[in-house]
């Protein structure tokens, strides 16, 4: 069957669930960071990610990378190649989006093991794609977003810090001090001028302001390096071509001639940067206005309540009730010509398979009105991660599912979305689903096989299972 077109932002959620399953099975301590692992109340508006970021206990890195490779993940860029901070390796998979596996947090001067222990100590469990995932605490979410903003050349603002309640900011600063990340954090929130004497001041001055003068970067990296050996290593790196970056830019393996041309260009750029540097003076001699973030450009909105991704059904203002109008009336006008009946073959109602991986179960407690004892009661299968468009702030009658044991992706639009949401909300019997659809005043033609035929097909595809009452 043709693979469904799953938007990258939705695939990120499903990928987080898959990575949690890999970690669970491999006995790896893993924390989800950034993207859907951050509370919505700490973001201004809808925030879409393009990859899934996780932080792994440093002692478990080899175990995690081996587990990924055993499950069809392929190394895209290694730890030493992906960024100047050498903090993450990037993996890709036939079904999932890219995964950034972090071994350290840029900006933290504490030892990597100590950093992870601090973040792991106060971890929380959150639902991502309706699977339980380990995430960092709220103060850590604020701190990590500010540290990420600090290396964005001014393109990313510290939204989480701006939205963080005043009474919780002291906890954030205490954590930052324990992580030994004060300079980088200050760069992220616009207070870098207070750290002019710090050894890593020049480094974060470069990363936090607009501009990409590589000489400033290398000067900052060398000044921040600990020990003469590390400084000599950085000087050697500055003089040589990064073959991985060149391969990614060319989209092929670089030839000897490619490397030679890049080396000449690198030396020429270095001379030009040195000339400019001498003319304007070093980065740390600039005015505060040149290095300070203009935080006043952001006006924090009113606080938004977090959505724990626990759906509610029916007639009480839930996602299903709000979008019921989208599948009311004639389904032929709302579903494509090939998708006219809810109970047609799965591919005909928008359930199309591809390939994806594994995670713990999303518990459901069926309500008493779910149906008669003689009827089967369906719940979502434990090995299925799923995402409803409303989970990510989008008002669309659409859901995506992922079989975490077989790496299959599915898409459920329109009427099939409604049935899925009712099952997810604990209304998993034929009588219960029919009654709820009637109460929602949604008109759906179930066709010849009927609703029970569609549910049977979902069961055959491993998306739902029958359970004892």
CATH number of the CATH domain containing 112: 3.30.460
Entry pTM: 0.76
Q: Are residues 271 and 160 in the same domain?
A: no
Tens of each residue's pLDDT in the chain, 469 residues: 345 689 999 999 999 999 999 999 999 999 999 999 999 999 988 888 899 999 999 999 999 999 999 999 999 999 987 677 889 999 999 999 999 999 999 999 999 999 999 999 999 999 999 999 999 999 999 999 999 999 998 889 999 999 999 999 999 999 999 999 999 999 999 999 999 999 888 888 888 888 666 656 655 555 666 666 665 665 556 555 565 655 666 777 878 777 667 666 655 655 455 445 545 554 444 434 444 444 544 444 444 445 444 333 333 445 565 555 445 432 222 232 223 233 333 333 334 334 333 333 344 444 444 444 568 899 999 999 999 988 878 888 899 999 999 999 999 988 899 999 999 999 999 999 999 988 988 778 777 778 989 999 999 999 999 987 6
Which contiguous run of DSSP H or E holds residue 52?
A: strand 51-56
Q: Within 10 A of 347 (CB to CB), how many other CB atoms are there? A: 15
Q: Strand 30-33 vs strand 74-77: parallel, antiparallel, or unpaired?
A: unpaired
Return the pLDDT at 321: 56
List the structure tokens of 167: 């009474």
Please indicate, yes or no, if residue 304 is contained in any of the structural domains: no
The neighbouring-strand residues paired with 410 are 401
Question: Do 270 and 362 fall within a single domain?
Answer: no
Q: Are residues 174 and 61 in the same domain?
A: yes
Residues 246 and 369 in one domain: no
Whether 327 is covered by a domain: the verdict is: yes
Residues 51 and 138 in one domain: yes
The reply to whether 215 and 338 lie within a common domain is: no
Sign, Cα dihedral of 208, 210, 212, 217: negative
Which of 177, 135, 143 has the alpha carbon at shortest distance from 160? 143
Contact 76, 123 (CB under 8 A): no
pLDDT of residue 2: 46
Residue closest to 136 by CA, chosen among 31, 27, 15, 18: 31
As for how many domains the chain has, the answer is 3
Q: Which of 188, 223, 252 is the last residue of a domain?
A: 188
Residues 124 and 216 in one domain: no
Which of 188, 223, 256 marks a domain boundary?
188
Nearest to 225 by CA among 359, 109, 340: 109
Specify the pairing of strand 384-388 against strand 51-56: unpaired
Q: Please tell me whether residues 254 and 163 are part of one structural domain.
A: no
Cβ proximity of 205 and 284 under 8 Å = yes
Bridge-based pairing state of the strands 98-102 and 51-56: parallel
Structural domain of residue 180, as residue ranges? 1-188
pLDDT of residue 325: 45
Cβ–Cβ under 8 Å, residues 172 and 141: no
> Nearest CA to 309 among 131, 121, 149?
131
Domain membership of residue 81 (yes or no) is yes
Residue-by-residue DSSP string for 58-97: GGGHHHHHHHHHTTT-EEEE-HHHH-TT--EEEEE-SSS-
Mark whether 332 and 280 lie in a shared domain.
Answer: no
Q: Residues with Cβ < 8 Å from 377, sequence gap 6 or more?
A: 366, 370, 371, 428, 429, 466, 467, 468, 469
Q: Contact at 8 Å (CB) between 440 and 320?
A: yes
Same domain for 150 and 33, yes or no, is: yes
Identify whether 313 is part of a domain: no
Say if 356 falls within a structural domain: yes
What pLDDT is recorded for position 391? 82
Backbone phi and psi for residue 318, each to the nearest 5 degrees, phi listed first:
-80, 175
pLDDT value for 299: 46
Instruction: Check residue 444 and give its pLDDT.
Output: 80
Q: For residue 301, tell me if it sits in a domain.
A: no
Residue 51 lies in a domain: yes
| Torsional sign, CA 196, 201, 207, 211 | positive
Among candidate residues 141, 161, 188, the one where a domain is terminated: 188
pLDDT, residue 203, reads 86
Judge if 47 and 120 occupy the same domain. yes
Three-state DSSP class for 460?
helix
CA distances from 26 to 11, 54, 71, 355 (A): 22, 15, 11, 21
Q: Are 45 and 119 in the same domain?
A: yes
Has residue 311 been placed in a domain?
no
The confidence score (pLDDT) of residue 446 equals: 73
């Amino acid at each position: 069957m043709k693979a469904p077109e799953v938007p990258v932002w939705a695939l990120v959620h499903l990928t987080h669930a898959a990575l949690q399953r890999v970690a669970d099975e491999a006995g790896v301590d893993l924390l989800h960071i950034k993207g859907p692992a951050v509370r919505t109340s700490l973001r201004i508006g809808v925030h879409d990610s393009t990859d899934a970021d996780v932080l792994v206990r440093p002692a478990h890195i080899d175990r995690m990378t081996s587990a990924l490779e055993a499950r069809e993940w392929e190394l895209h860029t290694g730890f030493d190649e992906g960024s100047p901070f050498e903090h993450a390796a990037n993996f890709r998979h036939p079904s999932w989006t890219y995964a950034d596996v972090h071994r350290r947090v840029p900006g933290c001067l504490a030892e990597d093991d100590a950093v992870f222990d601090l973040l792991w100590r106060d971890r929380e469990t959150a639902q991502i794609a309706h699977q339980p995932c380990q995430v960092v605490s709220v103060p850590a979410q604020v701190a990590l977003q500010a540290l990420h903003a600090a290396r964005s050349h001014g393109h990313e603002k510290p939204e989480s810090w701006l939205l963080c309640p005043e009474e919780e900011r002291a906890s954030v600063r205490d954590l930052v001090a324990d992580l030994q990340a004060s300079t980088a954090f200050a760069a992220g929130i616009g207070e870098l001028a207070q750290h002019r004497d710090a050894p890593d001041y020049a480094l974060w001055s470069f990363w936090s302001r607009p501009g990409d003068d590589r000489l400033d970067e290398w000067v900052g990296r060398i000044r921040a390096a600990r020990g003469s050996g590390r400084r000599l290593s950085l000087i050697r790196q500055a003089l040589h071509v990064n073959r991985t970056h060149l391969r990614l830019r060319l989209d092929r393996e670089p030839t000897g001639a490619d490397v030679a041309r890049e080396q000449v260009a690198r030396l020429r750029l270095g001379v030009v940067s040195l000339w400019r540097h001498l003319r304007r003076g070093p980065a740390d001699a600039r005015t505060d206005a040149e290095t300070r973030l203009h935080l006043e450009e952001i006006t924090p909105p009113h606080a938004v309540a977090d959505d724990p991704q626990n759906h509610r059904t029916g007639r009480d203002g839930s996602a299903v009730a709000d979008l019921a109008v989208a599948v009311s009336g004639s389904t032929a006008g709302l579903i494509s010509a090939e998708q006219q009946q809810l109970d047609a073959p799965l591919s005909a109602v928008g359930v199309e398979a591809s390939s994806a991986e594994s995670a713990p179960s999303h518990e459901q407690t069926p309500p008493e009105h779910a149906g008669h004892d003689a009827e089967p009661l369906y719940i979502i299968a434990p090995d299925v991660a799923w995402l409803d468009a409303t989970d990510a702030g989008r008002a669309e009658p659409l859901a995506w599912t992922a079989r975490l044991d077989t790496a299959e992706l599915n898409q459920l639009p329109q009427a099939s979305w409604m049935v899925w949401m009712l099952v997810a909300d604990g209304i998993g019997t034929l009588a219960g689903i029919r009654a709820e659809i009637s109460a929602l005043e949604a008109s759906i033609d179930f066709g010849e096989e009927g609703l029970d035929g569609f549910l049977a097909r979902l069961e055959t595809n491993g998306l739902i299972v029958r359970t004892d009452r």
